[in-house]
Homo-oligomer: A and B are copies of this chain.
């Protein structure tokens, strides 16, 4: 499909099944390689800078395993709400706290992406605005108990029940909220050259 990528072996450095599914949708062959990275960042970073810092930090750990034909994609998605980052909830109480905070308000989902080869890196981020309906206690507990969103930033998956009943409005990219801004990524890959 994209002739300029023919010399590369594409690697997706992410264990997220949502990211794998989205990248698959582009019909470009790729492999998944997972290396764990501690998702810590310097104090003082905010919003988009956190997501881009973490996307690049993830790329760093793949460096020793890359050769001159490797094209690596790494990404990090955060929920940003009223000046605070909402990461993966630590337990049920934490998940309920996050969903209560998001209920009836608009938050940002930000994905930072790093496309890298041994000689070039392109880092960018995409912001989507998500407006949640007001949720009641029963709805929040029903979701947390049945869907256990402990691997999800902000304690929710937009493609799950909560996304169906809570998401009143999106401004931006839906796929970005799932974890990968696929249209922007396609565009970057289409124009990739070294």
Binary per-residue interface labels of chain A (152-194) against chain B in the complex, 1 for a CB within 8 Å, 0 otherwise: 0000000011001111111111110000001100110000000
Each complex incorporates copies of this chain amounting to 2
Binary per-residue interface labels of chain A (16-60) against chain B in the complex, 1 for a CB within 8 Å, 0 otherwise: 000000100111000000000000000000000000000000000
Inter-chain contacts of A174 with B (CB < 8 A): 167, 170, 174
Inter-chain contacts of A25 with B (CB < 8 A): 160-161, 164
Chain A to chain B: the 8 pairs with minimum beta-carbon distance, closest first: A174-B174, A164-B182, A25-B164, A165-B186, A171-B171, A170-B170, A168-B183, A167-B183
> In the complex, A15→B139 CA distance in Å?
29
Inter-chain contacts of A167 with B (CB < 8 A): 173-174, 183
Q: Does A140 sit within 8 A of B, measured CB to CB?
A: no
> In the complex, A83→B22 CA distance in Å?
33
Q: How large is the interface on A (under 10, 10 to 19, 20 to 34, 35 or more residues)?
A: 20 to 34
Q: Does A133 sit within 8 A of B, measured CB to CB?
A: yes
> In the complex, A103→B182 CA distance in Å?
17
Q: Is the CB of B142 within 8 A of A164?
A: no
Chain A, 47-88, CB within 8 A of any chain B CB: none
> CB within 8 A of A165: which of B165, B166, B171, B183?
B183
Inter-chain contacts of A165 with B (CB < 8 A): 26, 182-183, 186-187
Inter-chain contacts of A172 with B (CB < 8 A): 169-170
> In the complex, A52→B102 CA distance in Å?
32
Measured CB to CB, the closest approach of chain B to A176, in angstroms, equals 10
> In the complex, A182→B162 CA distance in Å?
11
Please, which residue of chain B has its CB at the minimum distance from the CB of A182? B164
> In the complex, A166→B187 CA distance in Å?
9
> CB within 8 A of A161: which of B26, B166, B168?
B26
